[in-house]
Amino acid sequence: MRKPFLVETLGNPAHPYIIKFLGVTDGSEMLRLHKEYRGNVVGLMHRALAEWFALPEVKHLEHPQGFSCQSRRPSPIGQHSVSTGTYFLEINGVRVVLSLYVGWVNFQEMHISFKVRKSDAHQLNSVFSDIESLPSRLINLVLDGEGAFVPNFSPVAWSDIILSEEMRRVVAANSIELLAKAELFRRQGVPLKRGLLFWGPPGCGKSLCVKLLISKFPRSVYVTCSDLNKYADWGIPEIYDLARRLAPCLVVLEDLDVLGGVDRNNHASRVLGQLLAELDGLETNQGIITVATTNELAVLDNALKNRPGRFDVRLHFPPPGHELRLQLLKAFTKNLNLAPDVNLAALSHKMEEGALSCAHVREVVTRGIIFAMDEADAGTDSAPVVTQAHLERSLTILFDPKRKIGF
């Protein structure tokens, strides 16, 4: 929850060393400028504050009390912790004392307070706005729904995914290009927000396409919807509050069908109402692209799946046809030592009856490599030769539901 900016006059009990640092004769000459943050924006705003500290106009000063005073107090069981700090700064020629409190006691909270002479306070009007605007200038930022950084995200390029040319155009036009040409669209009166719904069976490229979009956006919030059912203190409204601070931003809702309450027949949950309101409610969501994935389109409420303004574009990711399967097979085998008898087109045609997903196609190649390795000489380190027989054996096993073991 975003707290309003607080301006408070400090009386004589203010710490003497702060009075001395600021050069005031009476504590009543000081103001405390204060803001609070709670929930999943705390980590983000802490990162923004760290970036602000590094700006050239923010100078860290010495003081008899020390460069800064900091303390950390974890609880004995390690579940709650408090971190506090006092920093002596000069901002654009104005001396200030910054007090920082970051705590986790059942929920995250952060308090930022500037103590400054009354006569200098007007020169700090832009300080908090500068700090709050920093998240929208960070790049290569991937957060989860709680605002924590997603480590080791591996970027995905267009060359890493196999989609029809039409699908590529639709995905790009409704996400990457919309924001790349923001000013042009704005002049045409087009809202700079969009909702895309990826649906289809597992293993057909939805998640890989999501990773591509995350790689193309400077800032993303990635949410696995099964996690939303576990936490009572954050949810859809908090996720979009986070996204608005990061805009332009991508919001990903992975596996929307497993999120309880996305059908109005479930009267026990407020999730549907929250999601409808955040996608197309009072907030403008300018610069926010929402992408949701689902295996089961039928379980979603009609107000989600059939309502432009919420999810404007529905994209079906079906099991690949012959041409896409052939592209997948070529991509998965391009670095392999293939025997002269390998015929990928014939192998693709044999996959027709099984309606195999992209993940199944990859598994056919993976098992073929394992079969080839198993038959190779034990003492050799050279790459095995993968034959048509190895690949067709893999396919036969995948097609046989009665097999109890992998080989």
- At 42-55, the pLDDT tens digits run 888 988 998 999 99
Using CA of residue 151, residue 134, residue 245, residue 288, what is the dihedral sign? Answer: negative
User: What is the DSSP code (8-state) at residue 300?
Assistant: S
Helix (H) or strand (E) holding 206: helix 206-216
- CATH code of 173's domain: 3.40.50.300
Name the residue among 230, 204, 79 with its Cα closest to residue 144. Answer: 230
Tell me if 146 is assigned to some domain. Answer: no
Tell me if 23 is assigned to some domain. Answer: yes
Q: What is the percentage of the chain residues whose pLDDT exceeds 90? A: 50
For the residues 242-259, what does the mean pLDDT come to?
93
Residue with tokens 């000069």: 90
The residue out of 137, 168, 202 marking a domain boundary is 137
Residue 1: pLDDT above 60?
no
Residue with tokens 């067709």: 392
Residues 49 and 127 in one domain: yes
Residue 319: pLDDT above 70?
yes
Neighbour tally for 174: CB within 10 Å = 17
Residues 288 and 354 in one domain: no
Name the residue among 109, 118, 51 with its Cα closest to residue 80. Answer: 109
Tell me if 371 is assigned to some domain. Answer: yes
Tell me if 77 is assigned to some domain. Answer: yes
Spatial separation of the C-alpha atoms in residues 360 and 62, rounded to whole Å: 63
Domain that holds residue 337: 322-399
Spatial separation of the C-alpha atoms in residues 351 and 395, rounded to whole Å: 8
Residues 44 and 79 in one domain: yes
DSSP 207-222: HHHHHHHHHHSSEEEE
Residues 193 and 260 in one domain: yes
Q: Are 213 and 248 in contact (CB under 8 A)?
A: no
Residues 299 and 366 in one domain: no
pLDDT at 172: 97
Residues 84 and 194 in one domain: no
Residues 165 and 107 in one domain: no
Q: Are 104 and 80 in contact (CB under 8 A)?
A: yes
Tell me if 21 is assigned to some domain. Answer: yes
- Domains of the chain: total: 3
Residues 228 and 89 in one domain: no
For the residues 397-401, what does the mean pLDDT come to?
78
Residues 291 and 173 in one domain: yes
Residues 207 and 111 in one domain: no
Q: Are 319 and 204 in contact (CB under 8 A)?
A: yes
- CATH code of 369's domain: 1.10.8.60
- For 265-287, letters b (16+ CB in 10 Å) and e give eeeeeebbebbbebbbeebebeb
Residues 282 and 200 in one domain: yes
Tell me if 167 is assigned to some domain. Answer: yes
Residue 167: pLDDT above 60?
yes
The residue out of 107, 137, 167 marking a domain boundary is 137
Q: Are 1 and 22 in contact (CB under 8 A)?
A: no
Q: Are 269 and 261 in contact (CB under 8 A)?
A: yes
pTM confidence score: 0.85
Region of poorest pLDDT, from 120-134, 305-319, 390-404: 390-404
Q: Are 46 and 147 in contact (CB under 8 A)?
A: no
Within its chain, how far is the Cα of 239 from the centroid?
10
Residues 216 and 180 in one domain: yes
* Residue 51: strand, helix, or coil: helix
Q: Are 52 and 131 in contact (CB under 8 A)?
A: yes
Tens-place pLDDT, residues 260-317: 667 666 655 678 888 999 998 767 799 999 999 999 898 888 888 888 989 999 999 9
Return the ∠ at Cα 197 (arms to 194 and 200), rounded to 5°: 160
| CA distances for 250 relative to 190, 197, 246, 361, 375, angstroms | 18, 13, 9, 30, 47
Spatial separation of the C-alpha atoms in residues 145 and 252, rounded to whole Å: 9
DSSP 354-396: GT--HHHHHHHHHHHHHHHHHHS-TT--SPPEE-HHHHHHHHH
Tell me if 148 is assigned to some domain. Answer: no
Tell me if 88 is assigned to some domain. Answer: yes
The residue out of 294, 316, 338 marking a domain boundary is 316
The amino acid that residue 67 corresponds to is F
